[in-house]
Structure 1
Amino acid sequence: MSPVAGASRALRAQFFVLGVMFATWGVHVPTVKGHYGLGEQALAIAMLASGAGALMALAQAGRVVGRWGPRSVSAAMGVLCCAAIACLLAGAGYAGLLAVMLAFGITGSLLDVAINTEATEIERLAARPLMSGFHGMFSLGGMAGASLGSAAPALGLTPQGHLLLASGLGALVVLAASRAMLPVPDKAAEEKHPLSLPRGPLLLLGVLAAMGLIAEGAMYDWSVLFMTQERASHASTAALAYASFSGAMAAGRFGGDWVRARLAPRRLMRASGVLAALGMALALALPSPVAALAGFALVGIGLSNVVPVLFSAASQAPGVSPAHGIAAVSGVGYLGMMAGPPLIGLVAEHSSLGAGLVVVIVFAVFMALSAKRAMRS
């Protein structure tokens, strides 16, 4: 096996573990809330602590990855990220939870930048699109993590036991996989200034990433509630909303490299925005639960390659290193991801959840219209 092929397999394992960790946290949000006796506001602040940690880390991610390399950073941050998940229920005080969530945000975002930087190098060496497939492993990891979490009680695992099992296995995979990663030449170590607000093309890429992540988060956070509240669906049917979206997104990402090899980035971005907008419009316009599930699946396919395409474009931005470009776009994207749920919730509170989800259509149309300006080809 060639070093590039071995590194590619190792990197897929890293993306998979990151997806499992995020899903494991998501599965245990109710558990954390009950363990610490939190209200909605206190839980939201804990989530914001994770976002704040991510933004803090992204401000230095280019320098850190440039100095130490993706291989070392992914090994260290991957293990620490898994350790943070293992400690979610370890304490009894709210301050301890905030510290754990802050650490989760810091380590998860640094791991994210490191493996995406490695992905751009592997894609360059292989001379063919690979980024979508890597992100497909993140989606697959999310599905696997959620499945393990739902099966844990039947397997006799306590919540703490599940956290220890998932994080322990994740840390072992990260350590083993990092050994096969390639050393990535990066000029980020020569750059002395921390990340600042991106400008020009990078800012537009970041804005598009934010819109894509807001739309993606809206599906994860609100689609099930939309089915029960707006379409009067049974709980078992409503649960399919998450499955239809995430399954379609995973499929779209695994097929995305084949598509990227045949479509220019701007054309793919334009098509992605149009498909996501049409899917959301279908889900909102027709009263049938089946139509809503079909619409959510179209949104998943439409959004599946937005982040991979934007990260690839950011890694090729002139004048900055790949790590700095990815960190800059990720930073703006995280800001959008943090602001998105309150924005949709605010609209839903004063109107309806369906009205709030119109945001997805607006942002998807903006992505389609901005593709030509944002992409060089």
Structure 2
Amino acid sequence: MRFLPEPSPSSHHPTRTGLLLVNLGTPDAPTASAVRRYLAEFLSDPRVVEIPRLVWLPILYGLVLTLRPRDAAARYASVWTSEGSPLLAWSRRQAEGLSRELSDRGLGVEVALAMRYGNPSLEAGIAALRENGCERILVLPLYPQYAASTTAAVSDAVGACLARLRNVPEIRYVRDFHADPGYIEAMAVRILDFWRDKGRGRKLVLSFHGLPKRSIALGDPYHQQCLETGRLLAERLSLYAEQVEVTFQSRFGAAEWLQPYTEPRLKELAKSGVSDVDVFCPGFVADCIETLEEIAVQGKEAFLLAGGRQLRYIDALNDSAAWMKALANLAERHMQGWITRPVARQPADAAHAAVLLQRKNDTTPATDQ
């Protein structure tokens, strides 16, 4: 194994504490070729698709990556912004907001953003922190509910990156925050502000990303954590059981996933006479294709065609003040005992670190492929 080059040692600065903020990922552009590259990396991860490689990879490269990218690219294009994908834009703002919040508290923590799949890569994020002298790194995946296909996949990738380092930094992980009081409060504030400004629908649907039921049977705590998040949020909003319900979206493949499925349930509600529905997605802390296109466009269309009068999507937490405070509280708790001296340096975007990686080692790719 060839180890990655180490940053030049410095005698002028004490060792620093870093925070690696991680989200799922996004294509680099809303094009079929970019989506194909992204999906190839994402769907080839054995944490994501738990089918034997000899069975799955021929399906992935022979069918899925041939048929799906063009349709997915059109969906991405419908929500793409001048800053790129919504997920990347909001994640960058979250990293910047978190850095400001920690700095305002007198904590000198270097913040870098990374994506598990696509760019900026995890390797680039860790490189950015190490270049800034960080020998202690808190890895904070932006997945409130733990799942092997998300949180554990981040741990796998971080471990693979550390295995290529000579001088390995101290690492801590945030496993989940599904019941964190600040997270629950930030969601409640988001929903209550929406209701105050625009009125309230007859039903609040809390739509989480789905997961194959087989994963739950094998011991994944995701389903129970989703239900717990839904219960705590409903309690904070003082809602009765008939006023709120939990559903699951983004099903992929033929296997049975967690139910009820969001879109079919929205149709059922419309047909049963529930004319006005509000939808919030607690598992997505940043707006992305799953919220802006799958719910706010496709879900709304399905609800209206089934006889509903109005479906309103409530924005994700994004960079709201309550969420930035909650995220900083979460990070600060997990960094207890670490020295966090104030520094003047701005938060590092992992995309810049890719340039440093390439410059130091021309034979080492700067991004995950």
Interval containing the TM-score (normalised by the shorter chain):
under 0.3
Q: TM-score, normalised by structure 1?
A: 0.23
- The higher radius of gyration belongs to 2
| Normalised TM-score (structure 2) | 0.24
Return the structure number with greater helix share.
1
